[in-house]
Amino acid sequence: MRSRPHWRPILLLSCLATCVALPALADVTVVARHTLVNGDTLTRPSYYSLSRCRVTGPDGKEFMYESKSKTVTVIDHQRKAYYTAPLAQADSIADQMLLESKKQMAQLAAQDQEAWMAKVAAFNDSIKVTKTMEERRIGAYTCTRWVLTAGSYLEHERWVARSLAVANFAPEVQKVVMASAMDPVGRVLLKLMLNMREIDGLPLAARTKFRTPTQSGSFSFETLHVISTSIPKSAWEIPKDYQAIKR
């Protein structure tokens, strides 16, 4: 897609980057209240099954991943349109973008190697992942607070219900998500978020504040209730009046 704001995938990662240690539940529906990056609010369910998921991004778009067909669908409710592509196609776009990113990084480093190395070291030293002792009940589940910080670039906290687990699709969609970041800093922040998938459990609330050379902002979500009954087939449908975008 032509427009890939770097913040769009971060909430997606908060939902997809879940545990692999616990056995995944067959069907989980999470109804949450979202505060979008533009300040709007909405209440919407996210769906997780063993073969697919449907989640909401920070700008209100929905993302669906189907593991059997290996396709990704982006639903734009504002435009009443959607886009579906094979994962392999998205991977190729990501590979091209990541190659460009490496070139950009090399050019910056070549300008002043010593200053660049100092900046990289300072950034790496600023990265901290902390499991706090704080707990609270969200959607009838006990959740533990985790905090991820990266200097002044990223503040992310998530409340994780360890007793909940869904299928972990983060490895499959990693390149797709990384391709959504248009600047090197944004890609590094997304990689940090992906690494948090090692945390056991499902995030039921999260708050993110970010800053990169191209944009800054914040967004959040909090679960109202969790449903563990079978997900209806209608949950995977796209509104009939939405137009398919051809690329």
Asked if residue 197 lies in contact with residue 173, where contact means CB atoms within 8 angstroms, the answer is no
Q: Which domain holds residue 36?
A: 8-244
Does residue 156 form part of some domain? yes
Does residue 26 form part of some domain? yes
Mean pLDDT is highest, among 82-86, 97-101, 228-232, for 228-232
What CATH number is associated with residue 27?
2.50.20.10
Q: What is the pLDDT of residue 177?
A: 61
Q: Which residue has the higher pLDDT, 168 or 73?
A: 73
Does residue 3 form part of some domain? no
Does residue 151 form part of some domain? yes
Does residue 2 form part of some domain? no
Asked if residue 41 lies in contact with residue 33, where contact means CB atoms within 8 angstroms, the answer is yes
Averaged pLDDT, 209-235: 90
pLDDT over 70 at 164, yes or no: yes
Does residue 1 form part of some domain? no
Q: What is the pLDDT of residues 91-129, one digit of tens each?
A: 665 565 555 555 665 665 566 666 656 665 666 667 888
Please give the structure tokens belonging to residue 55: 């989640």
Q: Which residue has the higher pLDDT, 200 or 205?
A: 205
pLDDT over 70 at 208, yes or no: yes
User: Which residues lie closer than 8 Å to 107 by C-beta, 6 or more apart?
Assistant: none
Does residue 47 form part of some domain? yes
User: Which residues lie closer than 8 Å to 163 by C-beta, 6 or more apart?
Assistant: 141, 142, 201
Q: Which residue has the higher pLDDT, 97 or 21?
A: 97
Lowest mean pLDDT among 16-30, 78-92, 197-211: 16-30
Averaged pLDDT, 29-38: 95
Q: What is the pLDDT of residue 41?
A: 97
Averaged pLDDT, 182-194: 64
Q: What is the pLDDT of residue 119?
A: 60
Number of domains in the chain: 1
CA angle 242, 244, 246 (to 5 degrees): 160
Does residue 224 form part of some domain? yes
Q: Which residue has the higher pLDDT, 210 or 169?
A: 210
Local confidence band at 245 (pLDDT 50, 70, 90 cut-offs): confident
